[in-house]
Structure formats: structure tokens, C-alpha cells
Amino acid sequence: MSVHWTELGVFAVLFGVVSGVGFYAGRWQRGGGGTLDHLDEWGLGGRRFGSWVTWFLIGGDLYTAYTFVAVPALMWGAGAMGFFALPYTVLVYPLVFLPIVRLWSVSRVHGYVTPADFVQGRYGSATLALLVAVTGIVATMPYIALQLAGLEAVLRTMGLNGAGLAGHAPLFIAFVILAAYTYQSGLRAPALIAFAKDGLIYLVIISAVIILPARLGGWGAVFDAANAKFTATPSRGGGIVLGATNQVQYVTLALGSALALFLYPHAVTGALAARDRNVIKRNMVALPAYSLVLGLLALLGYAAIAAGTKPIVNAATGRPDSNTVIPVLFEGRFPSWFAGVTFAAIGIGALVPAAIMSIAAANLWTRNIYKAYLHRDATAEQETRQAKITSLVVKLGAVALIVLIDPQYSIDLQLIGGVIILQTLPMVAIALYTRWFHIWGLVAGWVVGMGWGLALLYGIPNPASGKRHFGGSALALKELSILGRHPFAGSPTQIYIGFVALIGNLVVAVLVTIVLRRTRVLNGTDETTPQDYHKDERPPHLIPNVSTGG
């Protein structure tokens, strides 16, 4: 496969400009006398982002290569199931509107940087904080891996599709650039780059939804072609409407993903960087506008079917790479220069969230593991240095996951992360409203939910590659075993594993809590007060350099 130089040239120029913006971002919105040798500055952008910056930051954080590559690829391969992402992103904002504002307020009062900081303050338990921190770091890695898989698909489409390690060389170069400007500029880099990313994405999407259907005979012809494909291959499942076995999976995927999204440390990081409560409220109202774009992007999976698009074979594995479906569609239906713009949009759309995710994971390591257990007297400069180094390590871990975990669809990388992060819901989200759960009830629930979820994931094979483990996130109810019993024996209905594991977590947490509350076992101490969850001011001790930029 030859290199497509026009596309690669346009991609390289836009990528280079954006990288330059990333390096410049370290000097942007620093405030009077600000220094990036403080975790609030490097990891939270000084907590001073206004409505527009926050909107682009959180949008760039949540609408990722998952949106641009993985969801359309799932639509192309599995049909209507891919649309679960649309109700999920509609549900999430009403669900988190009040909890995220409460978390912002209590974090601003007490100087919390991470969800684990909040749990430590709420329960006075280093054990709970450690569990939340480790869970957040582990859950974030497959999500970053999804971003890198999307970037690699773009590079492969442009002809950079070598075998072995040489085939990954362009990805490693992009990784080095991402790591460098994240190390230097912290959260300001993805916040500033998100403006360019969204501009490119809107340009590409508006063009695609107008031009592609017109060239393919209209949306009616697109849906007819998709229906014909799935009707002709019933053995592979899928269809333009849900079947009898995947309706429960669709509902639990949508609800489970909505519950999980703002438990991810990177989503919390984006919210905590906001200047005040009203910024968060306005964004929870405005961010659903992105869901319209997501729906249009998802339909491009059907457009690829109508266009007869075939994925590129990955030279490293010898198997078709479904992530390349949308890039190949654009390459075949648009001029080379515009395809290059599209690939740059997808690539930048992968790097922005990857940067935020690595920063959020680094904050967790620094605040809740390094300082809590390894160096209690660490200075602000030492904390920030640790965070910078950890952000590099997390990205390397994500690169390794691309090789080690090879699910049928790349979207399962994010769904596997969702199974993991959902197990922190009782500790973080529910704790924003009540301390009814006992510390050790929460620990017991986490152990059961995490162990059960990972065990179920381990047993899911990948029919495309032949790998026996971590091949997806859907479980047939007939395979569900509870204490050796099979309550749904014979049922082919599928369900999202994260939802099953969360139910097990909550049941165990409730039962253990009831026992411990009746025996009056001490339940830690709470440093927060009810008023802390409603405050909207910046304590003078928190950040010495206040700026009202936004």
C-alpha cells in the first residue's frame, strides 16, 4: 500500500500547527504570577476556565475517537446496537447536573483535585481513596488506548501500514509529541487545542451529512443498503433495528455508560477546572448539542455500507481493521486535500482527550498514592513533577493495551473501562448525597463488583481474532452464574457486564453496611459539611493567583 502524500501532507501541517498551540498553551491564562509547578495550575488549569473554554474542554474530553471512529465502526459492523451511544449521551447530562455541581462546590471549598480526594475527605478513609485512585487509573488506560487506536487507523488509511514495530512508528511519533506538550503545558494544552479540534470536526460533519447522502442516493438508499447487508448475513447478528436478544444489552449499555461517564477522572478534571458553579450548570445544559453531531457521525457507518467501503487490512495482524471504515469512506468520496483535513480532525480529536485522560490519571497517582503513601511531605513542585512523569507512563500503558487487548470492536476498550469505573459509583456519586454506606461495606462491594466484572470480561472471546479473553463487554444471560446457580439458564438475551457487576457491588455493599451499622462499627469521619456542597466561592488559601479569564 503506497503512501498518500497529499493527505499525509495536509494532516502533518494541521497536526504541526495544533502541536505548536499545545506548547504555547503553557503561557495561556496563567494569571498574575502563576506557575505550572503547582498541581492546581498544571492539572486543573488554575481552576479558572469560563463557560466557553469549559464547553470546548469537556466536549473535547467526552467526544473523542470513540465518537469519530468507534461508534460508526460499530454501526457498520453491528447495526442499530451502535446507536446506544445516542441515548447514553442524552441521559448523562440530566443525571449528573446536580451531582457534578455538588462535587465542584465541595472540591472548591476543600481544595480537592481528584474524586479520590473527595472520598478521603468524606469518609476519612485512606483505603477507600486508594481504591478509587487505582480504579480510576486502570479504567482510564483502555479509554486512552481507544484514542490511540483511532489515530492509528487514520495513519493506516494514509498508507502508513507497516508490519511489526515499524508499522507503529508514526503512532509512536504522535505519542511523543502528545507527551511533550502535555508534560510542558498541562491541562491548558488540550483546553486550547479543543477549539481547533471542534472547528475541524464541525466542518467535516456538515460537509459529510450534506454531500455523502446526495452522492449515495439519499438517506433512504443508505438505510436500504444497510438493511440489505444485515439481512444477507443474519448469522453475524446486527440489523437496522434491535433484535430480541440485544434489547436489554442496548438499554443497560446506555444507562451503564451514562452512569459511568462522569465517574471517569478525566470528566471530573474538566468540571473541576471551571471557574464557578454557573459555568458547570450552563455546560450541562449546552453539552447535549454535541449529541446531535454524534448521531450524524453514527449514521456514517451506514453510509459506508451504502458506499461499499471495505476496511483496510492491518499489516501487523493480517485482519481487517474496522476502525478504518470511516477514514476509507472519506478517502474514496472526497478530494485528497479534504480527506487530509478529515484525518487531521480525527487525529486531533483523539489526542485532546488522550491528553486530558493522562493528566487526570496523573493527578490520581500524585495526590492519592505518591503523596499519601510514598512521600507525605512532598512539596507542590514535587507533586507536579510526579504528575508530569506519571502522565507519560499512563500513555505508555495505553499503547501496550492496544497490543494486549484486542476486542472485536474498538469501542469495547471504552466499555471495558466502563465496567471498571462503574464500581466507584457508590463511593463517589452516592457519597455526594449520603454517608449511609459503611466504609467496609463499600470496600466489600467494590471487591465483589470488580472481581465479578473482570472475571466475566475474561471469559468473553473474540470471534474475529480467535482470542479467548476480553473480546467484548456483552454477556448472554444463560452464562450468568450467581453462587453456582444459573437463574437465566437457556436465555440468549445479552446484557452489559458493567451493569451486572454494579448490581452485585450495590447488593453486597448494602448487606455489609446493614450488618456493620447494627453492630455500631465506626464509620470514619467526615470533614465536609452540608453547606460545603452549595458554596460558590474560591477560598483565598486555595489558589494564590486569581484570574477571571475565560
- Paired residues of 482 in beta bridges: 485
Highest mean pLDDT among 230-234, 296-300, 426-430: 426-430
Q: Classify residue 184 as exposed, middle or buried by CB count within 10 Å of its CB (0-12, 13-18, 19+).
A: middle
Q: List alpha helices for 158-276, DSSP H.
A: 169-185, 188-215, 219-232, 247-261, 265-272
**CA quadruple 154, 157, 159, 165: dihedral positive or negative?**
positive
Q: What is the mean pLDDT of the chain?
A: 86
Per DSSP, the three-state class of 34 is coil
Res. 501: pLDDT tops 90: yes
pLDDT tens, residue by residue, 359-381: 889 889 999 999 899 888 888 88
Q: Look at 98-112, 145-159, 176-190, 206-220 and tell me which has the smallest mean pLDDT.
A: 176-190
- Paired residues of 343 in beta bridges: none
Q: What is the mean pLDDT of residues 89-104?
A: 92
**Residue 146 · residue 64 · CB < 8 Å:** yes
In this prediction, residue 58 has a pLDDT band, given cuts at 50, 70 and 90, of confident
Query: Closest Cα to residue 438, out of 106, 125, 110, 99?
Result: 125
Domain boundaries, the chain: 5-23+41-522
Res. 194: pLDDT tops 50: yes
Res. 545: pLDDT tops 60: no
In this prediction, residue 401 has a pLDDT band, given cuts at 50, 70 and 90, of confident
Output 495 or 28, whichever has higher pLDDT.
495
Q: How many CA atoms lie within 13 A of 85 on its CB side?
A: 30
* CA–CA distance, 407 with 171 (Å, rounded to integer): 19
Res. 72: pLDDT tops 60: yes
**Residue 401 · residue 413 · CB < 8 Å:** yes
pLDDT confidence of residue 76:
94
Query: Which CATH code for domain 5-23+41-522?
Result: 1.20.1730.10
pLDDT tens, residue by residue, 4-50: 999 999 999 998 888 888 888 777 766 544 566 677 788 788 788 88
